[in-house]
Amino acid sequence: MFQIKICGITNVEDARAVARAGADAVGLNFYAKSPRAITTDQARAIIRVLPSDMVKVGLFVDTPPAEIGETFDRLGLDLIQLHGDQPPEFLTLLGGRPVMPAFRIGPAGLDPVVAYLHACKGMSHKPAMLLFDSYKVDCYGGTGIGLDISALSDYRQQTGSYKIILAGGLTPFNVANAIQTTYPDGIDTSSGVESSPGHKDAAAVAAFVNAAREAFRRIKI
């Protein structure tokens, strides 16, 4: 669905910078406790300036399913990114809308991911893709902490055919190595291209997108 996503867009100026840089997707954060949180009105203004083919992802943390569905439909989002403690059964409450659960890969490695996917078997609705993020207690993304790449050494064998999006401390300086080491389907960054929390640095965004594009091109040669 996308290869390069810039998350935590909070204003129109940053949205335009991300579009100019050539990213495939933007993340809109509806978690009120985040420094990157926005309202639906702010999200609507951001969406208006985005190219029609850019993937618009709504980020939610432990939000009631009815509220997620209403926001998704009202804004015309393309994907739901779930952070928090929702069980696999939560997916069935979202009315068939595409969902990307985020997993913070910590001391337990991929075991929670495997257990989650096992529980999804036989369900009518499964994740559209999976996001692997770094782990920090009580934090749901945007921490700037690097993901332990060594924990992903055999992730393809454990996750099967699911598309994997890599996040966690990615910057213009390390994204190429992360892509060439783990071969993900896509990558995601937020704090790694910011001048301050919630404010993107246009030059860093452009450098990140360029580095990621070149790395993806190289792994496909």
> Which residue numbers are catalytic?
7, 133
- Per the CB < 8 A criterion, the answer to whether 128 and 79 are in contact is yes
Alpha helices (H) along 2-110: 12-21, 40-48, 65-75
Beta strands in the chain (DSSP E): 4-6, 25-29, 55-61, 79-83, 99-105, 130-134, 164-166, 186-189, 194-196, 199-200
Smallest CA-to-CA distance from 128 within 106, 104, 96 is with 96
Pull the structure tokens for residue 176: 């190429």
Smallest CA-to-CA distance from 22 within 55, 45, 46 is with 55
- Amino acid making up residue 140: Y
d(CA 38, CA 31): 8
Smallest CA-to-CA distance from 74 within 114, 35, 110, 47 is with 47
